[in-house]
């Protein structure tokens, strides 16, 4: 498994042909849930033909005025390249960008999606209602563990 964190990239034959998963969700003012997902997938599923795109970068250059644009473009391009997207809405963050990404990609039939919301997430009812309108059979989990399991079951043959 390859893990690529923003703003990095891996230009290799292996990554080119790998099945790609994007982790969409809170980044600022919330726990590093992305590391939990990566560790869990690596420990339990041991995918050798998967790439995970992680938008959380360790050292975001807050003093660089161009960094937000580079970061937004990185996210946009990697969401387009992804075959699957795991959405996680933690209670600590409203996740306006993640809500936008869910609206855009949740209505796309060419992406596998797995959606989870912390039970205390402020917009959980909106996520449930809007998702059900776009994907009637979508499962929305209330734990990160079940969100990961849902993703794994959907991509098991990929």
pLDDT at 57: 83
DSSP bridge partners of 113: 85
CA distance 96 to 93: 9
Task: Kindly state the tokens that stand for 64.
Answer: 């660089």
| CATH (domain of 16) | 3.40.50.450
Q: Are 21 and 52 in contact (CB under 8 A)?
A: yes
Residue owning tokens 């390249």: 81
Task: Kindly state the tokens that stand for 81.
Answer: 């390249």
pLDDT at 103: 93
CA distance 60 to 75: 14
pLDDT at 109: 77
CA distance 4 to 53: 5
Task: Kindly state the tokens that stand for 91.
Answer: 């209670």
Rg (C-alpha) for the chain, rounded Å, is: 15
pLDDT at 58: 77
CA distance 127 to 141: 11
Q: Are 131 and 140 in contact (CB under 8 A)?
A: yes
Q: What domain range is 124 assigned to?
A: 2-155
Q: List the chain pLDDT tens, one digit each, 158 residues.
A: 999 999 888 999 999 999 999 999 999 889 999 999 999 998 888 788 999 999 998 777 767 888 889 889 999 999 999 999 999 999 999 999 999 999 999 887 789 999 999 999 999 999 999 999 988 889 999 999 999 999 999 998 77
Q: What is the domain count for the chain?
A: 1
pLDDT at 156: 84
pLDDT at 97: 93
CA distance 142 to 38: 18
CA distance 17 to 68: 29
């Amino acid at each position: 498994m390859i893990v690529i964190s923003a703003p990095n990239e891996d230009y290799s034959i292996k990554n080119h042909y790998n099945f790609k998963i994007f982790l969409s969700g809170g980044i600022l003012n919330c726990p590093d849930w992305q590391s939990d997902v990566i560790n869990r997938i690596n420990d339990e599923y041991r995918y050798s033909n998967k790439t995970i795109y992680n938008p959380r970068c360790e050292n975001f250059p807050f003093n660089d005025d161009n960094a937000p644009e580079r970061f937004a473009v990185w996210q946009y391009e990697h969401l387009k390249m992804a075959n699957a997207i795991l959405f996680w809405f933690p209670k600590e963050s409203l996740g306006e960008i993640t809500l936008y990404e869910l609206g855009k990609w949740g209505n796309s039939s060419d992406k596998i999606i797995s959606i989870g919301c912390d039970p205390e997430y402020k917009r959980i009812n909106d996520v449930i209602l809007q998702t059900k309108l776009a994907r009637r059979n979508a499962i929305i989990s209330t734990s990160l563990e079940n969100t990961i399991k849902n993703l794994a079951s959907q991509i098991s043959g990929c």
